[in-house]
Amino acid sequence: MITTYIYALSSVIIVSLVSLIGVFYIYLKEETVKKYINLFISLAVGALLGDAFIHLIPEAFENSSNPIIVSLLIIFGIIIFFIIEKFLHWHHHGEDQENTEIHPVGKLLLITDGFHNLIDGIIIGVSFLISIPIGIATTLAVILHEIPQEIGDFAVLIHSGYDKKRALYLNFLSALAAVIGTVIALIFGNIAETFTIWIVPIAAGGFIYIAMSDLIPELHKTKKMKYSTAQISTVLFGILLMLALLLLE
């Protein structure tokens, strides 16, 4: 059992470190980041929608005997993140000018991604409780799944107004929710797995809300055909990446 715990915790720490992929941004010039930020946001849109519709929602329906409850939880996820963003906008409006440079979508993304990382951690922990080979395979799938999403998430945090180091730090803190998830799974086992049945559709609703309400409107600010075509292509690429990862599940 101790060996299982070591493997599980080591694996989830590696998964959390994937969030530091944004470190490569630190070495890019500010002009270069601004030049390609819309493409990275486009990748985030594709990854968020692909993750929601290709991974999370099918998993939620598969693990539930009541599709109406799953549908309501997805809608609840959209509404609850709409309410959270409303609150963040009110708070944002009441702050002084120095702090209003940070757009609420960055905070909203960190909350939603934290939920997602918690779920990933629980899934990894439960997989290792079944067997070490299954746990390793699950960890590999999660890592490959996280890379395109973490790139997009980091770009959104930069776009929201965080500097590179702050965005890297906050993204890593959000990723550490996966470690908490694995610890919960190792302690509570099947109870933790039941918990994910409720959280997965809510997280899916959050991803859909962020992509459709906050990120796509940003992409509409670009009017030129050349850039719009590149954005659409990158969104589709993000979706295809999530589709390709089904082969690993």
The count of residues in the chain is 249
| Domain presence at residue 35 | no
- Of 146, 149, 156, 121, the closest CA to residue 135 belongs to 121
Range with lowest mean pLDDT among 77-86, 91-100, 121-130, 214-223: 91-100
pLDDT digits (tens, 9 = 90+) for 214-243: 788 888 888 888 889 999 999 999 899 888
Which helix (H) or strand (E) is 26 found in, with range?
helix 23-26
Give the predicted TM-score (pTM) of the model: 0.69
pLDDT reading at 96 higher than 60: no
- Of 186, 204, 199, the closest CA to residue 75 belongs to 204
Place of tokens 């999403």: 149
| Domain presence at residue 177 | yes
- Of 194, 113, 214, 190, the closest CA to residue 154 belongs to 113
Residue 161, Ramachandran bin (φ over 0: left; ψ between -120 and 50: alpha; else beta): left
Alpha carbon of residue 134 to chain centroid: 23
Domain that holds residue 224: 2-21+40-248
Per the CB < 8 A criterion, the answer to whether 177 and 118 are in contact is yes
pLDDT for residue 90: 62
Total domain count for the chain? 1
| Domain presence at residue 31 | no
pLDDT for residue 101: 66
| Domain presence at residue 27 | no
Residue 50, Ramachandran bin (φ over 0: left; ψ between -120 and 50: alpha; else beta): alpha
| Domain presence at residue 33 | no
pLDDT for residue 192: 65
| SS3 of residue 220 by DSSP | coil
Other Cβ atoms closer than 10 A to 166: 14
